[in-house]
Structure 1
Amino acid sequence: MLILTNEDIETLIDMPACVATLEAAYRDFGTGEAVDIPRQDGLVANSRPGAVHAFKTMSGSWPRAGIAALRLNSDIVHWPVVGDSPRRVKIPCSAGARYNGMVLLFSTDTGQLLCTFNDGLAQKTRVGASSGVAAKYLAREDARNLGLLGTGWQAEAQVEAMCAVRRFDLVKVYSPTAANREKFAAMFARKLGTDIRPVATAAEAAHGADILVSATNSMTPTIKPEYLRPGMHITSVRGSEIPLEVLRRVDRLVVNTHAPVSAFPARGWPSEVPEFTNGDYSRPDIGLIAYEKVPELKDVVARTVPARVSPQEITCFHNYKGLGLQFAAIGSLIYASARKRGLGITVEDRYFTQTVHP
């Protein structure tokens, strides 16, 4: 059994390959040849003011790669107000100010545990790559201008994925903190060889954008109705970033999955956290938009429903919930590459198998 760290994974991940692999996994999911088991969160009280312990699991199986994956997180989460907006923030409470999240990969041939690795880099990569897959099908082929709201770790994967599926003349990036947007723009201009410029407002980032991406941890909307224009494609990393008014104005809406996040809160504050107002567990648009009738990305990729059908359409990939299957897909790449390059620590398999019938 192989153990990998984020430091190992950083040398293994290639965004174009991740986009292509996720596209293949979505296609198999759309034809019924892959399986996703929806996310579940357990929430209980924590000793820190305003915080909870969140225990999260999601899983999926991709037979084409011979991989099943389980992703789990043990997080201390709180919702501080930054500016005038609450943000969902994880607190690194483990020794050394570290977070707790991991992915386990199993063989669909033998059932054996093959690998375990930190989920951090894989997490942002699978979100970015899924947005890239959606943009490949939903954005105009001639999209040349990208607007990006946010400069955090999710934004990094988003700009890489968008540049993997479209060739941009200009990328405009906004963050409320000038130093953050200037650093981000300089770093990714060098890395991607693209003209990336920091701008002072979200409206300026959205102006003239063919694709508009919001990649923040904001609990309030970031994409405003006035940002929309014919032919635009929009996407986000949280359901809270796209308000109902925007969702009602788009011409073609696609979601990552119909299945909601199942939350199991203890009484008191765990059942009252902001996620139940406009976040992972509930939003104002739920019940007002018939999501069961909205196409899922897997259906678009499998071509059982149409993608973009006209240059004037406003399209939206509402990425309000992830899939365990994404970790099986990204994990298959990570595991194969690590084995090929001899990375990681190998532990005897007998510690993870047993002769006793479970």
Structure 2
Amino acid sequence: MSVIFLSEDDVRQLVNMSDAVKVTEQAFQHLAEGEAFNQSRGRLRTNDVMLHALAGVDRKANQLGWKMYTTTRNAARFLVGIYDGTSGTLEALIEADYLGQLRTGAASGVATKYLSRQDSQTLGLIGTGLQARTQAWAIAEVRHLKQILVYGRNAERREAFAKQLAEDLSIEVIPCKSVEQVVEPADVIVTATISKSPVFEGKWLKAGTHINSAGSNFLKKTELDLETLKKAEIVTCDSRDQCHLEAGDFVEALSQGILSWENIAELSDVATGKVSRESAEQITLFKSVGLGIQDVALGSLVVERARDRKMGIELPF
């Protein structure tokens, strides 16, 4: 079978957020069963470019592949490779910017499905970029939202983002002038920023809130303050191994003894019911850094549908 190339436009036609949440949930369940495996991200750099590489294998779904991308001061370029799980031959190369936006949002969607209160209706969203948009899509897949509150530092961008998100989801989206206005009423909070320092104060959190921290995946960056980590009774992440390398949100709390690695659960534990919310008053937290197995799970579905629909450009090897 020939190798195919799938563009960003192809990916947008082939999968949506509902698909992403389903395959992401399955991937984390397979991780819990010992049937899937994740290779933590590695990074190398020249003077001007950073190369990022991560990979995953799902034996139960017979899927394997990798994601590689480069970042500079001005751009990021993403590529996913998917292999046949039986022969080991390369099946497809996929442009993966949009795919990455979907799979990152989907992980927060899975965490929210299991850790937030089922009656959660208000989403507080901090950040107005592409990742923030798909985070909201994912939360709307798993909870019946009635209102989304949005904060970003640029007022014009905040207004435009809120308008676009309201059109996306047919939900009331209110641009707020302060972070406090977003956090205090929220049942679910998402942080999706590039901030190096905390973006809200933990003292603003109400009982029963669930938090998804999805912005930072460098040790020198954090979106969460110590008060938030103190208040969170259930703290989870996508991978402890990868968070050792990338979760700046945990660094100070670990050094001060507020957190310990033994008490940080993985999303695989959550998706299989090993860890769950015990009361409506608990504050819960999911820290996302992004795993290769997520890219493989969604990328494999993209390839399957592309084959069915005869989409993609055949490559000469």
- TM-score normalised per structure 2: 0.92
Q: Which runs of 4+ in 1 moved over 2 A?
A: 43-46, 63-66, 260-263, 282-289
Partner in structure 1 of residue 59 of structure 2: 63
Q: Secondary structure at the match of 1:121?
A: helix
Partner in structure 1 of residue 44 of structure 2: 42
Partner in structure 2 of residue 246 of structure 1: 228
Q: Secondary structure at the match of 1:25?
A: helix
Partner in structure 2 of residue 17 of structure 1: 19
- Note the 1:283-322 alignment, pairs <5 A: 283-287=251-255, 288=257, 289-303=259-273, 305-319=274-288, 321-322=289-290
The one-letter code sitting in structure 2 at the alignment partner of 1:29 is: L
Distance (whole Å) between structure 1 residues aligned to residue 25 and residue 310 of structure 2: 27
Q: Secondary structure at the match of 1:106?
A: strand
CA contact (8 A) 2:235 2:263 kept: no
* Pick aligned residue for 2:120 from 143, 151, 166: 143
* Pick aligned residue for 2:214 from 237, 240, 253: 237
* Pick aligned residue for 2:182 from 205, 216, 239: 205
Partner in structure 2 of residue 96 of structure 1: none
Distance of aligned partners of 1:261 and 1:133 in 2 relative to their CA distance in 1, 3 Å threshold: closer
Distance of aligned partners of 1:213 and 1:60 in 2 relative to their CA distance in 1, 3 Å threshold: same
Q: Secondary structure at the match of 1:123?
A: helix
Distance (whole Å) between structure 2 residues aligned to residue 144 and residue 311 of structure 1: 14
- Note the 1:330-345 alignment, pairs <5 A: 330-345=298-313
Distance (whole Å) between structure 2 residues aligned to residue 167 and residue 29 of structure 1: 28
Q: Secondary structure at the match of 2:174?
A: strand
Give CA deviations for 1:164-209 in whole Å, capped at 9, x if unaligned: 0001111111111111111111112112111111111111111211
- 1:27 CA drift (Å): 0.3
- Note the 1:151-166 alignment, pairs <5 A: 151-166=128-143
CA contact (8 A) 2:65 2:82 kept: yes
Q: How many residues align?
A: 308
Q: Secondary structure at the match of 2:128?
A: coil
Distance of aligned partners of 1:204 and 1:218 in 2 relative to their CA distance in 1, 3 Å threshold: same
CA contact (8 A) 1:172 1:205 kept: yes
Distance of aligned partners of 1:308 and 1:262 in 2 relative to their CA distance in 1, 3 Å threshold: closer
Distance (whole Å) between structure 1 residues aligned to residue 91 and residue 26 of structure 2: 22
The one-letter code sitting in structure 2 at the alignment partner of 1:223 is: F
Q: Secondary structure at the match of 2:252?
A: coil
Distance (whole Å) between structure 1 residues aligned to residue 295 and residue 56 of structure 2: 7
Higher helix share: 2
The one-letter code sitting in structure 2 at the alignment partner of 1:222 is: V
Distance of aligned partners of 1:262 and 1:45 in 2 relative to their CA distance in 1, 3 Å threshold: farther
Distance (whole Å) between structure 2 residues aligned to residue 117 and residue 322 of structure 1: 18
Partner in structure 2 of residue 79 of structure 1: none
RMSD across aligned positions (CA):
1.8
Distance of aligned partners of 1:222 and 1:188 in 2 relative to their CA distance in 1, 3 Å threshold: same
Q: Secondary structure at the match of 1:311?
A: coil
Distance (whole Å) between structure 2 residues aligned to residue 308 and residue 228 of structure 1: 17
Q: Quick one: percent identity of the two aligned structures?
A: 30
Distance (whole Å) between structure 1 residues aligned to residue 144 and residue 244 of structure 2: 38
The one-letter code sitting in structure 1 at the alignment partner of 2:136 is: V
Q: Secondary structure at the match of 2:69?
A: strand
CA contact (8 A) 2:265 2:275 kept: no
- 1:44 CA drift (Å): 3.8
The one-letter code sitting in structure 2 at the alignment partner of 1:325 is: I
Give CA deviations for 1:97-151 in whole Å, capped at 9, x if unaligned: xx43211001111101011111211111111000000000000000011110011
The one-letter code sitting in structure 1 at the alignment partner of 2:61 is: A
1:196 to 2:173 alignment: yes
The one-letter code sitting in structure 2 at the alignment partner of 1:335 is: V
CA contact (8 A) 2:237 2:286 kept: yes
Distance (whole Å) between structure 2 residues aligned to residue 34 and residue 27 of structure 1: 9
Distance of aligned partners of 1:261 and 1:308 in 2 relative to their CA distance in 1, 3 Å threshold: closer
Q: Tell me which structure has the larger Cα radius of gyration.
A: 1
Distance of aligned partners of 1:298 and 1:19 in 2 relative to their CA distance in 1, 3 Å threshold: same
Distance of aligned partners of 1:261 and 1:203 in 2 relative to their CA distance in 1, 3 Å threshold: closer
Partner in structure 2 of residue 257 of structure 1: 239
Give CA deviations for 1:50-104 in whole Å, capped at 9, x if unaligned: xxx211110001123322121111222xxxxxxxxxxxxx423xxxxxx432110
- 1:286 CA drift (Å): 4.2
CA contact (8 A) 1:147 1:172 kept: yes
- Is there any run of 5+ residues in structure 2 with no aligned partner, and where? 217-221
1:91 to 2:91 alignment: no
- TM-score normalised per structure 1: 0.82
